[in-house]
């Protein structure tokens, strides 16, 4: 009898260890996009979205795996289960080129940051108004809010590129007359380094947009992440990260009106 009891205890312990050893993992889809998700000088992934995602999912007991994606494939990646969410400056309050609201394609978290689409040109381009874009060639990230906004400029031709930074390179090289980008990214690059000769045409900026985290329809993570965002707003974590990454003037730290 003692041997049987001992054996049962061993089996129970093995089940316990197996259960305790199970690791919850969440896969976050992102693109390289300073100041949201980007590589530092030591090749570590950092950024406002990166650190906020880590803080949220750590509190929820998940290990975060960051998976770089093609922005144009974000819905396919979500629906297939290749990623669990898109946390990368994902504009929530807009529609895609097919006219379908993004909120009808994914479940969005609370809006956590303001943004706009901006037009970037060379300083000597002479482009100052929408009329100046007629007959011009523009670059925008495929599947982005910038691509949709750029197509609103009458007479301008918009071509999609893999990354927003690719669009900046097109303008620098002269193969594009302008680029349509998220303001958050544009302000991190324009006027600096290789992009010192570029400028933002402020008069061509879009109306205010909002970033939110995108989840597959019906995901239980949406409500869980919202609850953690509220906690991290209350304890000052979001404000601290916003200051660290220079987005204090656009980060949202009060979600009361979104409940």
Residue 109 and residue 214 in one domain: yes
Residue 127 and residue 147 in one domain: yes
Residue 195 and residue 140 in one domain: yes
Q: What are 152-207's pLDDT values in tens digits?
A: 999 999 999 999 999 999 999 999 999 999 999 999 999 999 999 999 999 999 99
Please state the domain count of the chain: 2
The verdict on residue 2 lying in a domain is no
Which domain range does residue 122 map to? 117-204
Q: What are 15-64's pLDDT values in tens digits?
A: 444 444 568 999 999 999 999 999 999 999 999 999 999 999 999 999 99
Residue 216 and residue 199 in one domain: no
Q: Are 57 and 64 in contact (CB under 8 A)?
A: yes
Other CB atoms within 10 A of residue 19 CB: 8
User: What pLDDT was estimated at residue 182?
Assistant: 96
The CATH number linked to 193 is 3.40.190.10
Kindly tell me the burial class for residue 166, based on how many C-beta atoms sit within 10 Å of its own C-beta (0-12, 13-18, 19 or more): middle
The verdict on residue 3 lying in a domain is no
How much is the pTM? 0.86
DSSP code string of 7-35: HHHHHHHHHHHHHHH---EEEEEE--BTT
Residue 30 and residue 108 in one domain: yes
205 DSSP 8-state letter:
-
The verdict on residue 1 lying in a domain is no
């Amino acid at each position: 009898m003692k041997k049987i009891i001992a054996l049962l205890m061993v089996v129970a312990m093995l089940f316990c260890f197996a259960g305790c050893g199970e690791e919850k993992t969440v896969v976050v889809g992102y693109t390289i996009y300073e100041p949201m998700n980007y590589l530092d000088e030591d090749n570590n992934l950092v950024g406002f979205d990166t650190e906020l995602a880590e803080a949220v999912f750590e509190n929820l007991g998940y290990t975060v795996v960051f998976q770089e994606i093609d922005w144009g494939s974000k819905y396919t990646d979500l629906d297939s289960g290749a990623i669990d969410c898109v946390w990368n400056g994902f504009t929530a309050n807009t529609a895609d080129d097919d006219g379908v609201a993004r909120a009808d394609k994914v479940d969005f978290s609370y809006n956590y940051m303001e943004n706009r689409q901006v037009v970037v040109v060379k300083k000597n381009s002479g482009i100052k108004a929408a009329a100046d874009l007629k007959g011009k060639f523009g670059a925008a990230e495929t599947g982005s809010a910038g691509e949709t906004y750029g197509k609103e400029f009458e007479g301008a031709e918009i071509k999609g590129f893999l990354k927003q930074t690719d669009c900046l390179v097109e303008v620098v090289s002269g193969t594009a007359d302008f680029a349509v980008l998220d303001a958050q990214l544009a302000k991190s690059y324009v006027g600096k380094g290789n992009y010192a000769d570029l400028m933002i045409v402020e008069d061509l900026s879009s109306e205010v947009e909002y970033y939110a985290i995108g989840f597959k329809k019906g995901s239980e993570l949406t409500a869980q992440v919202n609850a953690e965002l509220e906690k991290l707003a209350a304890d000052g974590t979001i404000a601290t990260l916003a200051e660290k990454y220079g987005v204090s003037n656009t980060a949202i730290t009060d979600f009361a009106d979104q409940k």
